[in-house]
Homo-oligomer: A and B are copies of this chain.
Amino acid sequence: MPTFMDVHRNMTGITAEQLKAAHQADLDIESAERVHFEHAWADPASGSVFCLSNGPSREAVQRVHEQAGHPADEIYEVGFEI
């Protein structure tokens, strides 16, 4: 399964609790799209959130985020990592 890094913008002031709730909302529905969200990092000062996932396609990742109420602004397929 490909790996994706997606970015959410305009989340200035996001708290740890809000990140946890948003991530859980993804986890609750991700299996329908065969996506798994592995990790998320938040910078509340700039309002940026980065999510690492794997799944069949960029579109599948976005469908989970959309259905959870927080569509990503950017989605990158990260073909390799180190």
Within 8 A of B (CB), among A38-82: 39-46, 48, 50, 52, 76-82
Q: Is the CB of A76 within 8 A of B5?
A: no
Q: Is the CB of B5 within 8 A of A79?
A: no
Residue with the greatest number of chain B CB neighbours at <10 A, chosen from A20, A77, A78, A82: A82
A-B contact pairs, 23 of them (CB 8 A): A3-B41, A5-B41, A5-B43, A5-B50, A16-B82, A19-B80, A19-B81, A19-B82, A20-B82, A23-B82, A39-B81, A40-B81, A41-B76, A41-B80, A41-B81, A42-B79, A43-B76, A43-B77, A44-B79, A45-B79, A46-B76, A50-B50, A50-B76
